[in-house]
Structure formats: structure tokens, C-alpha cells
Amino acid sequence: MSKKALVLGTGLVSRPCLETLLKYGFLTTCVSVIQEELDDLLKALPSLKTARLDVSKDRESVENLVKESDIVISLLPCFLHHEIALICIEERKDLVTASYVDEAMKNLHPKAVAAGVTILGEAGLDPGIDHMLAMKCVDALKESGGQVSELRSVCGGIPAEESNSGCMKYKFSWYPKGVFTSALQPAKCCLDGKTVEYKAVYEVPENVTGILEHYNLECLPNRDALKYRDIYSIQTASTLFRGTLRYQGFSKVVKSLSSLGLLEQSALPELAINSPDLTWKDFLAILLKLPTSSTKEDVDKAVLEKLNNDPEQLRAVTELQLISDKALPKKTTPLDTLSAHLAELLAYEPGEQDLVLMYLKVSGKLPSGQLRSYEVSMEEKGTPVGGQSAMSRTVGLTAAACALVLSEGTFGVLVILLSIVLIKKHGDC
């Protein structure tokens, strides 16, 4: 009898996941609040079942769908995972997500154990494939009798070089808001035995050298790398760094957007759904405490002053249509409003390609004193419009593969897991 899979979310990375589940005979249901996205998927995947609902507001319907499924994959924004995980625990169904495991998810561990449920987080690209490759290298070094002294792991989803244009040097191949919240995160790493902390990673990019140097990239520290010392069992590592790759200049534009107040996450009355229509120029005037009757020249001048009189950044803000008479999409907060605007403005065009880059290095000493290093690099291109993006394949296929492993019933660890455990037990996942 065919098993049933439930996939929550029809965003930019869902299609390869759905195709894989259908290919392996799963009766697959996909859920989204956006009917147009469901319709597009049905055209490409006629055997797919769909359900239109808002998972944040219709818990009963989600419960019923989970109850009827054998495995659940959530590709929703990370803040929705906790409630989905609670439902899966109640209904005793395993869950896979591609997002980082936060404290709220970790705290579900006792309930998951009691229910006999596996919740597998960080099962995408980064986090996900990076963990699996890291453990491959760590295990290889340890099997040779070595001790890990250094682990560096960097990854990024960016436009392919031939599709890279514009001031921000970025186009969206995944959750737009997540791109900015990642850049706003604090981060920790360890460099030559010294712990280094960053308040906001967009303020401290470093140019990338070595095997990826020809791409002209910058690297932003990625969250708390120190926690992986215990997770990877590499307590001997004096250098532990995880980073996000972007083209040079990206972080400078993000810093400018932050300086203008466009990355704030507090609700503003001017951005309420029922508030009067507003142009981007007028909204910037409000943020800069200018009269809404200010001319474009007045706003230009105020923006330039706010950006330390950097004409390049004024051009960037202008290019992003943020001092224009275009009506903005009111989404309650500046960050949500900006994300909606740029998701449309910086979408991939037909024929353009995206690019996923990953580089991993694990080094250590063997008992003989000899230094040994393992290096892995990955370059994957895709076609977001009319095909599949590299981001969607690397995230969606990984999540689906992990779901296939769990559905076999041979995975017996009942905990809140990271994807690194799967590669240790199932090297082909």
C-alpha cells in the first residue's frame, strides 16, 4: 500500500521535493495559502493532491491532514515549524524541515521521545548538505587516527555570474525575508582558539580567497558556529567557522537599507493593510522624519546624508525604486514590506540562472604529526524560471531524501535530530 506524504508550503524550493516523493510512489498532498501556486504545481504534477488553507489559522484542517499522512515535510517559514511539530507529535507522525533547529524546537525533545516521533531539522542545503559533508570529512579524519583542528564551511545561493546584475548583486531563489533576517543575525565563531562574536553579520563581511576567489565573493559569518563543536564531536578544533557567500557589495547595500530603517521588524500604522496608499518616496520621508510633501530632491538629500554621503549607495537605493512614486505593498512592518517589494523587483527573468556554491575544509593532525586536510567544493546551476533552480534542487531533494529514509522505519533514534546523523547512518542519503 502506498505511503502518504504531506508537504506544507509551495514556495521557491518545493517542486523538486514533490517530484521526488511522487517518483518513489508516495501519495503526496501539498498545502499552500496561495491557490495560484497550487494550480501551477498541478499543471506540472497532475498526480499531486492539493489543499488550500492558511496553516497559521486553521489548526483543525492541518491536524486532519497530518493524521492522514505517514510523513510530513514542512517547507514553511521557520516561525511556523513549532506548531506543526506539536501537531506531528500529537498525531505521532515524523516531521522533516529544512530550517535551523531553534530553542523552541529543541524543547520539544521530551514530547517527541514520549510519542516515538522523529523530528528531523536542518535537512536542506545550508543547513543540511553542509552537515553531511562535514561529518563525512570529520569521520574520515578520525578513522585515520587524527584529531580535528580546523573546520570551515561556507555556502551561498546567488545569481550565476552571467545573470548577476544590479546594485545588490542578488536575486531571490528562496524565502525573501529570510535573506535579510540571516544578514541581521548575530554570529559566533572560533579563530585560532579565540572566540569572536558579531552583533550583525552584514557589518563584517570578508572577501573570499582560495578556490572560490574568481567569483569576487564576500563571506558573512553564519550564526553560532561554536555549537557544532559538540554536535560534530570536534572538541579539539581551535578554528570553527561557518559563513554565507554573497557577491562583493551585497552587505554594503544591506547596511544602507538598515540605516534607513527599512529592515525594522516592528509594525507601523502607515503599513497597516487598511491605511491610506503610500509611495516609496513618501514612506522614506516618514522614516527620515520629513514631511510627506517633500520633493524627491529633498528625500534624495536626506537619504544621502543618512548614508554618510555615499553616492554609490544613493544610486543603489534609487535603483531599488525606494525613492520612487511606486505604491508600496503594505505588509505591516518595514522588513516585510521591503521583502515583498524586492521579491518582485529582484525575481529571476526567463533564461537567467542561479548558482549554489559550497566549500568545506576539515584539517587535523594524524598520530604521526602529519597534517591532513579534506576539502570539498560544490557548484550547482539551475534555471528558476521554466525549470528548477539550483536552490530548489539542493534544498528540496535533500528534504525529500531524508523523508524517504525516515519512512522506511529503520531509523530508530527518537529525538530532535540534525541531518548530520542521517549521513552517519545512511551514507547515500
222 is a domain residue: yes
Domain boundary among 330, 359, 376: 330
Global pTM exceeds 0.85: yes
**38-82 confidence digits (pLDDT tens):** 999 999 999 999 999 999 999 999 999 999 999 999 999 899 999
| Pair (241, 307) in one structural domain | no
Mean model confidence pLDDT for the chain: 92
Are residues 141 and 240 part of one domain?
Answer: yes
Residues 85 and 46 in one domain: yes
SS3 call for 267: coil
Per-residue pLDDT, 409: 65
Number of domains within the chain: 3
**Can you give the length of the chain in residues?**
429
Instruction: Residue 419: give the domain boundaries.
Output: 4-121+392-425
Whether residues 113 and 146 share a domain: the answer is no
Residue 258 in any domain: the answer is no
Identify the CATH number of the domain in which residue 377 sits.
3.30.360.10
Q: pLDDT value at position 210?
A: 85
Quick one: 46 and 158 in the same domain? no
Phi, psi of 217 (to 5 degrees): -105, 160
The contacts of residue 129 (CB under 8 Å, 6+ apart) are: 358, 378, 394, 398
Q: Is residue 337 part of a domain?
A: no
Whether residue 158 has pLDDT greater than 90: yes
141 and 231 in a single domain? The answer is yes
Strands in 306-370 per DSSP E: 354-365
Q: What is the pLDDT of residue 411?
A: 47
Q: Is residue 293 domain-shared with residue 378, that is, in the same domain?
A: no
What is the predicted pLDDT for the residue at 147?
Answer: 96
pLDDT over threshold 50, residue 19: yes
- Could you write out the DSSP letters of every residue in 197-256? EES-GGGS-EE--GGGGGG-EEEEE-SB-TTHHHHTT-TT-SEEEEEEEEETTHHHHHHH
Residues 151 and 282 in one domain: no
Note whether 247 and 135 are same-domain residues: yes
Taking phi over 0 as left and psi of -120 to 50 as alpha, with beta for the rest, 145 belongs to left
pLDDT at 190: 97
For 375-410, write each residue's pLDDT tens digit: 999 999 999 998 999 999 999 999 999 999 888 765
Q: Are residues 247 and 368 in the same domain?
A: yes
340 in any annotated domain:
no
Q: Report the candidate in 390, 375, 329, 426 with the shortest Cα–Cα distance to residue 151.
A: 375
Cα–Cα distances (Å) from 399 to 46, 253, 392, 393, in that order, read: 21, 32, 10, 10
The answer to the question of residue 104 being in a domain is yes
Residue 261 domain flag: no
